[in-house]
Structure 1
Amino acid sequence: MTTKYEQISSSLFVKNRKKFTEKMQSKSLAIFNSNDIYPVSSDSTMPFAQHRDIFYLSGVDQEESILLIFPDAYKEEHREILFLRETNEHIAIWEGEKLTKEKATEVSGVKSVFWLSDFDRIFYNLMNEAENIYLNRNEHYRAVLEVQTREDRFIERVKREFPLHKILRSNPILQHLRSVKEPEEIALMQIACNITEKGIRRLLSFIKPGVWEYEIEAELIHEFIKNRSKGFAYTPIIASGNNANVLHYIANNMQCKDGDLILLDVGAEYANYSSDLTRTIPVNGKFTERQKQIYNAVLDMKNFATSLLVPGNNWYDYHKECGDFYTSKFLELGLLDKADVQNEDKNWPAYKKYMMHGTSHHMGLDTHDYGILSDKFVENMVFTVEPGIYLPAEGFGIRIEDDMVIQNSGPAFNLMKNIPIEVEEIEELMNA
């Protein structure tokens, strides 16, 4: 066992590779590289996190691994190949267990496994057979590309050594494939959500006036790791009082005061799959009437948005419909008046004063997962639903968020349906 999580059936990765190869042009091979281990300083490094694309296609969760896919290769053993870092006694003593060839086949379903020392020879020979090569780069619409990756270096190498081959892009294929989850993937996401639930229930009996935000973070990481998670799926937001009005507040270093609300945007990962939850709860276990009014308004917004997560809708139309509902809700609350709406900038509608971020994003192996925004919603896409109302003048902000699976018919399925969300339920658990 080289991972905390229980081994995933290789049938998932066999299925994922089949879907990818069906989208490839003929006479093409595709290469996928693991992430680097990134340095901090001296001999310190960040913990290794596998590139989600090679994990999606192989299940291999180890550095310096390469997956080669070449459906039209003359020899059957060259149609799928894994290349791994060769393990030895020294590595076993200093770093621990690494994948053997046999274990790599068991994990991935790939029968041909070679050590990295064989890569150059085999790759060169197969490129002589191929006309095209699929290369992989991060093309997510939120990506910030400042650090050169192992994939980037490989792209440079291919352009230099094989200038006459046609280069194709893997990412558009993966954007479509990864946006629709297999049942096994949804089951893994459910485990991540269940671990998050355990963390939240732990907090409801822990939080009280005087605790510090970082103490809350510590309670969560304890519960997550205890349940075979590597930890947080993303940097946790634990924002008490006015900190909740900073959308990406991550300092988590303030003391929680009596009468304040605390916004918890936290989620566990499991087997590289993410969960993404937000709850807003009273530090002293009791909402004020004003806090309750705004909280229930956000809950109404969330329930309305969830009702639109149906096949055939799309991300752009969905957010427009959500915005129209939020506008009506803010008029009802007196946060906006008719003149605000009549004079609004269509590129930044009036409701954005109090709800300035999007309502949903794709979820999966990445917290902000792959997905083409213009694609129509289909069954087994997974989205967050996370509206909020932010009131700096009143010293609090409220956001509520769950992870929803689109169904072929009927309402979306809530992976977080067992996590307390109603005012009365939260108060009861906090005062038990």
Structure 2
Amino acid sequence: MKNFVPLFIFILILTGCNNPGGRTWMIPVSIDPSDLAYTPSSMESFEERRSQLIDSLGSGYVILRSADQSSSNRHEFRPNNYFYYLTGYEDRGSYAILSKDPHASYTLSTPPQNIRMQIYDGEVLDAEEIMEKYGPDQTVTYREVRALIDSLVKTGASIYIDRSDRTFMRDLQEMAGETGSTQFKHIGELVDELRVIKEPMEVEYMQKACNITAMALTNVMRECKPAMYEFEMEAVIEGTFLEYGSAMPGFNSIVGSGPNSTTLHYEPNKRLMEDGDLLLMDVGAEYGYYTADITRTLPVNGKFTAEQGKIYELVLEAQKAAIEQMIPGHMFTDANDTIKEMINQGLVELGLITDPGSPWQLSFYTIHGTSHFLGMDVHDVGRYRDRELEPGMVITIEPGIYFREKALEQAQEMFKNDADSAVIAEFIEEITPVYEQYVNIGVRIEDDILLTTGGNINLSRYAPKEIEDIEQIMK
């Protein structure tokens, strides 16, 4: 597979070979998008996915749309994930139909074209070129595919669709009429578990997305200073993404300083950073339609205070211990349990938890879960409950501790269903003198972990996270 990790190297990765990362600021990423080229080998991957899906399809049909003609992401057009995962085809306004039909199990429509569209958007592949490159059994025109879809819907057969494409779903329901609404099922029922286990091509894209993101975060460490705006750091991040061939972020960049570091999904990124602030960045480059998701927290002035350092080290040590739990055979929740135990003990020692056995006191500081699948979506598809870890999964690990300015006054409302008001009041009174030393400190550290047969590989290992390294880069 040209420019992709050869299969034998991927096998070495999955058997847990030592990673070359370690504590280094030399990030292996180049300005070379040639690895995005659609090759015969990548065609085989898409063919295998379609084959597995069709084997489980029964008598129904899969009907997917690349995306609406007018749909776009924050920066540019992007095909819907399920459509791309099964076809590798990127043009807007196209449809894919899959079935057990032995003569036409895979139909792909050519996008609508007229002279105006050619002038504004450029030419697209014709039917013959699509057949050769993407391998459908047949191609049909835009008008023909709409008529074909209408006829399939009217058969009353089960139709698997992408329910996130709400406009198309409404079109299909109108075709079916009131009696046909129950025939539509979500394509995720057939595909989501395939997407959980990553193939060599997917791993390479995710590794490059992580390397680009690590470069962006390291660039921020070099540029960040008090009296700069959060959006200046966002510009460094997303400018680096573009510089290395990432067309867009995989999700809206979170770049929050001072009190904003304690807001989980803060997105305005407009505050003027001050001396003594922490800056929390939760960002991810998208590459080949696969995203990274890395969080780093750094001191705006280049030096952690004693209080910031205590919380940072507590989060970091809990994260490291949790990553060690991320091996095949362990349960999905094992890493989270390790984090809870270590952070709980650390906060008890700091005088911030009065009852070590109280889940709500720990939740007062930690707020969110610590892991999710990663892939084409930042919170990727797949089943979590009672799940055993398997080689090929990519999972985030992201503990955090947050000292929100208004948390003490909100505690009664937050935990009224978990504890008696008198118990909450006693907790607030006892921790307030200590809590005030940490107000507006928010620390989250997140890495992207590939499960291997022998353990795991940290795909985001090149993004510095040791205090010593961060402070050295920021000098």
2:130 pairs with one of 104, 119, 123: 104
1:408 aligns with 2:456: no
1:275 lines up with 2:289 in the alignment: no
Match of 2:142 among 103, 116, 122: 116
Q: What secondary structure is seen at the aligned counterpart in 1 of 2:117?
A: helix
Residue in structure 2 matched with residue 142 of structure 1 by the alignment: none
Aligned to 1:141: none
Deviates further, 393-402 or 150-159: 150-159
User: Matches of residues 187-198 of structure 1 in structure 2 within 5 Å?
Assistant: 187-198=204-215
Which has the larger displacement, 93-102 or 201-210? 93-102
2:238 aligned with 1:221, yes or no? yes
On the 8 A contact 1:387/1:400 being kept in 2, the answer is yes
CA distance in 2, matches of 1:159, 1:317: 46
Aligned residue number for residue 84 of structure 2: 55
In structure 1, list runs of 5 or more residues that go unmatched: 139-147
Offset of 1:163 from its aligned partner? 3.8
1:265-296 Cα offsets, whole Å, 9 max, x none, are: 11111121111110001111111222222111
* Alignment partners' CA distance in 2, 1:215 and 1:164: 49
TM-score scaled by structure 2? Answer: 0.79
In 2, Cα distance between equivalents of 1:106 and 1:224 = 32
Does the C-alpha gap of structure 1 residues 201 and 36 become closer, same or farther in structure 2, counting only changes over 3 Å? same
Identity %: 31
Question: Is 2:373–2:381's contact at 8 Å kept on the other side of the alignment?
Answer: yes
Q: Which residue of 1 aligns with 2:320?
A: 303
Q: Map 1:342-421 to 2 at 5 A.
A: 342=357, 344=358, 349-374=360-385, 375-392=387-404, 393=436, 394=438, 395-410=440-455, 412-421=456-465
Deviations 1:188-209 (A, max 9, x none): 1111111112211221211111
Larger relative contact order (Cα-Cα within 8 Å, sequence gap ≥ 6): 2
Work out the CA distance in 1 between the residues paired with 2:272 and 2:87.
Answer: 45
- Partner in structure 2 of residue 209 of structure 1: 226
1:155 positional shift: 3.6
Q: Give the AA of the match of 2:463.
A: I
Tell me, yes or no, if the aligned pair for 1:36 and 1:149 is still in contact at 8 Å: no
Separation (CA, whole Å) in 2 of partners of 1:196 and 1:45: 18
Structure 1 pair 290/384, CA: closer, same or farther in 2 (3 Å)?
same
Match of 1:104, as an amino acid? I
Number of aligned pairs? 406
Aligned partners of 1:37 and 1:45 also within 8 Å: no
Aligned-pair CA distance for 1:37: 5.1
- What is the Cα deviation at residue 118 of structure 1? 1.2
CA–CA distance in structure 2, aligned partners of residues 14 and 420 of structure 1 = 39
State yes or no: 1:65 paired with 2:94: yes
Displacement, 1:161? 9.1
Matched, 1:23 2:56: yes
| Match of residue 429 from structure 1 | 473
1:273-352 map, 5 Å: 273-316=290-333, 318-337=335-354, 340-342=355-357, 344=358, 349-352=360-363
- Once the two structures are superposed, residues 167-206 of structure 1 have per-residue CA deviations (whole angstroms, 9 ceiling, x without a partner) of 5442222221111111111111111111112211221211
> How far apart, CA to CA, are the structure 1 residues paired with 2:75 and 2:468?
42
Q: Would the aligned equivalents of 2:262 and 2:442 in 1 still touch at CA under 8 Å?
A: yes
CA contact (8 A) 1:174 1:370 kept: no
Paired residues of 2:75 and 2:248 also in contact (CA < 8 A): no
**1:98 maps to amino acid:** V
Conserved 8 A contact 1:231-1:268: yes
Per the TM alignment, residue 220 of structure 1 is displaced from its structure 2 partner at its CA by 1.6
Confirm or deny that 1:7 pairs with 2:37. yes
Alpha-carbon distance in 2 for matches of 1:230, 1:20? 29
Contact 1:38 1:46 in 2 (8 A): no
Assess if the C-alpha contact under 8 Å between 1:245 and 1:396 holds in 2.
yes
- Secondary structure in structure 1 of the residue aligned to 2:248: coil
| Separation in structure 2 between the aligned mates of residue 198 and residue 226 of structure 1, nearest angstrom | 10
Asked if 1:91 corresponds to 2:120, the answer is: no
More displaced stretch, 192-201 vs 359-368: 192-201
- Cα distance change on mapping 1:127 and 1:238 into 2, 3 Å: closer
Find out whether 1:175 has 2:220 as its counterpart: no
Per-residue CA distance 1:368-403 (angstroms, 9 max, x = gap):
110111232211111111101112342211111111
User: Secondary structure of 2:321's match?
Assistant: helix
Q: TM-score, normalised by structure 1?
A: 0.86
Change (3 A) 1:37 1:116: closer
Gaps of 5+ in 2: 1-32, 405-435
Cα RMSD over matched residues?
Answer: 2.7
Secondary structure in 2 matching 1:82: strand
Shift of residue 136, structure 1, vs aligned partner: 3.2
Secondary structure of 1:418's match? coil
